[in-house]
Structure 1
């Protein structure tokens, strides 16, 4: 804003200076020229009157040369006096014979010898110097006696005109500099409320406390904007505070009754008849489902109110840690958990996001995987053929994180709806909440990536999460030929106890 205001001030000042200085310069130039012409005319008439008296008195040969020399020395030019036939009477500078013979044919002298009342004013260039020529007839009464021609160099006039133009240019630059300095101060003063609004908006955007902006500065429009911002920020801060309070209190207020309810249901197991054991098991299952749903809702609420910055995450290390943590549970259900992939390096993600993404995807994969099948965790580089798309090529590098199972899979319509909150497949077994994949998608988007489901070659699901890679911490080393394509596979030990097939939606 400061630059735009300053540019507008300078543009207006420059236009004003152009509109003032150019007419002033042209007026001064024309005035100087007219002043020199009038002075030359006056001098020519004075010499003409003196020459007429000298010719009438018969002293032209004695008086006119001295008069011509004196006049030429005073005006810094040249004086030439001829008689009625065009013969030279006096001159302040020597002439060649050819010039003396052709004096009567010179335009100014010829016009004066014809006795016209007009003067011939010409500007010629002699020896690289501009001269102003004035010719006046010499008359005694009505009879023409000759002509006087005066030439005055205009170099001094040109120098004065150029000097004035230079002064105007320097004055204009000084005025622009003054306008720039004053305009910068005014622009900074005018834009200060806007900058305060921008700073407060940034603080609010990153999760900081909304500091009220002063509404006593700037023009009325800015003060009105500041007042509106203060009301909006206060309202938003109140809503965020309420959400934070809910996320913090609901965790304890909801978990405790659910845990107590489950404990009471488990204590009833010995007091319930055999025919009621099925209902008790269903109640316990629904209690577990409700607990998971509460955890998912609280996680999404915390994600909505969180404004954490992205950080560098070692994707290979996180994958190895989650593989180690989930392997015992997969073994108990008779499923292989394999870590494979060739993508090493860091990605940009919210703190803890990659861990939560893997936990939800692995939980869903374990729920739908039959005994004896394999679930694969595979971080891979972004496919080269996908980088041709404009919206991807201009962004940072990307890495794909795959979690592939060999379960029953989903139809294309089901894969499109799987990321909706609380959505579950029609044939999904009890126990799911429909929040896992929704949370995965929210975490991926908040980390600058995306999540999608594909059909796996083995018939199951290929859950793909794309994350942006982190830039190098230090200048990159010289480019070397790529190493041969390798895969690393870290399987668990062969499961020993199978379980029944359990198919459910994410």
Structure 2
């Protein structure tokens, strides 16, 4: 942002300088040319007035000679012609005043016309009639070097360029300072917002820098961060209190039922066993609700998580359960590693819920496979099973609490998965497995240092399902 502001102000200032300095320099150049020409014509008229007295009134040529000497001392070349275009007098340097262009000018002046003076080899020519314009007694041609005019014009453009460069330099300094004044507080605020989103709830930003609007924004951010911190800590305290207040009575009630069932008659023992099952179900439900609440309040700080290692670990942990239910559970090969940015322990919790749901849903002889690949700048993890699958209506609400009324467990596993995945900046969706079953697809953010490894696929290891069934 700082660069954009600086470049924008610099471009705007450059345009304004060009629009202001260039037209001014052009105007001053044109004025200088006109002034130089007028001065040259005035000098020519002075010589023409003295020449008229000699040519028309037949007075001595002393005055004319005097004016020619004055022109020569000024560096000009002048020549006086009579009415028949014959040279009467001139300065020592007559070449510039007696050429073809000079002769052409003399002819036009004697014919009663006012010619446009040309520039000849760095000299400017001027011609004036001696006497009346329509019936001149002669003509005077004065050639003056254009070097002084060129020097003045160069000085005008040089000063204009210097002024433009100075203005541009001042604009650079001011634009950079202004851009930093505005951009640095916003960059600090952006970094603070990023750290707050990563879970640093005590993050605050500086409110003493930048324009008033940015300061107010920083103060509002700090207020929001403080309220968010208080709200999250309050929810966490409530979750802890509820966890203690619910689990303790349930545990005590379960122990009492165990004591009563130990010495009860057969009919009573059956009823007490049913009550114990309901207490166990209620405990699982409370645990699930607390897990969902914790997932909803999660503000993870991303860490580098090796997906292949976590997958292999969780598959190994769940293999005994899968073998007991005669379900095949496959792992992945240790190919080029894929590293994702997730909160500590979140991928383990996500996979535990997905594998638990799949093991519960897949019948004996079925299979569960975990595979994935790095694609599109994301890490894609899939948990596939060949169980009964889900209807389109059930998939639409599966990530809600108790979204699937046909779920065998508490109905909270996918809700926990969805909360944890989205809290970490990922996405989760459900698809049908080709041939029947359900596939859970997770798109997780890559760890930045490994973001350039694309197209790395995990290869599913073959599973001996006969051996699984035999166990």
The answer to whether the superposition gives a TM-score over 0.5 is: yes
Offset, 1:494 = 4.7
Q: Distance in 2 between matches of 1:416 and 1:216?
A: 49
Distance 2:293 2:83 in 1: 115
1:8 deviation in Å? 5.0
Which structure 2 residues correspond to residues 227-376 of structure 1 after superposition, within 5 A? 227-331=219-323, 333-341=324-332, 344=335, 345-348=337-340, 349-370=342-363, 372-376=364-368
Residue 400 (str. 1) matches residue 352 (str. 2): no
Work out whether residues 77 and 94 of structure 2, in 8 Å CA contact, stay in contact via their aligned partners in 1.
no
Alignment match of 2:124 (pick from 115, 118, 131): 131
Q: CA deviation at 1:157?
A: 0.7
Q: Distance in 1 between matches of 2:432 and 2:372?
A: 17
CA gap 1:350/1:131 in 2 versus in 1, 3 angstroms = same
Q: In 2 relative to 1, CA 162–193 (structure 1 residues): closer, same or farther, beyond 3 Å?
A: same
SS state at 1:123 partner: coil
1:67–1:420 distance in 2 versus 1, CA, 3 Å = closer
Matched, 1:146 2:123: no
* 2:416 is the alignment partner of 1:439: yes
Give the direction of change, closer, same or farther, for the CA distance of 1:359–1:58 in structure 2 (3 Å limit).
closer
Deviation at residue 169 of structure 1 after TM alignment: 1.5
Which of 178, 181, 188 matches 2:180?
188
- How many residues are aligned here? 465
| TM-score (norm. length: structure 2) | 0.82
**CA contact 1:311–1:350 (8 Å) conserved in 2:** yes
**Hey, what does 1:122 align to over in structure 2?**
116
Residues 55-66 of structure 1: pairs in structure 2 closer than 5 A: 55=55, 56=57, 60=61
Taking the aligned partners of 1:143 and 1:471, their CA distance within structure 2 comes to 94
Task: Give, in whole Å, the separation in 2 of the partners of 1:138 and 1:262.
Answer: 135
Q: Deviations over 1:230-261 (max 9, x none)?
A: 33222222111112223344443433332222
Deviation of 1:467 after TM superposition, in Å, equals: 4.2
How far is the alpha carbon of 1:363 from its aligned partner?
2.0
Deviations along 1:423-447, whole A, 9 cap, x unmatched? 3334x55xx2110111122333344
Residues 350 and 446, structure 1, Cα contact 8 Å, conserved in 2: no
Equivalent residue number for residue 163 of structure 1: 155
In the superposition, relative to structure 1, how do residues 414 and 122 fare at CA in structure 2: closer, same or farther (>3 Å)?
Answer: same
Unaligned runs of 5+ in 2: none
List runs of 5+ in structure 1 lacking aligned partners: 383-392, 498-506
Partner of 1:501: none
In 2, the alpha carbon distance for the partners of 1:162 and 1:34 equals 16
Q: State the match for 1:76 in structure 2.
A: 75
Counterparts in 2 of 1:343 and 1:440: CA distance versus 1, 3 Å: farther
Q: Give the distance between the partners of 1:4 and 1:463, measured in 2 at CA.
A: 43
Cα RMSD of the aligned pairs, angstroms, is: 3.9
CA contact (8 A) 2:303 2:343 kept: yes
Correspondences of 1:99-114 after superposition (within 5 Å): 106-107=104-105, 109-113=106-110
**Residues 81-92 of structure 1 correspond to what in structure 2 (within 5 A)?**
81-92=80-91
Instruction: Tell me the distance in 2 between the aligned counterparts of 1:340 and 1:216.
Output: 55
Q: Contact (CA 8 Å) 1:347, 1:467: kept in 2 or not?
A: no
Does residue 453 of structure 2 align to residue 489 of structure 1?
no
Corresponding residue SS for 1:421: coil
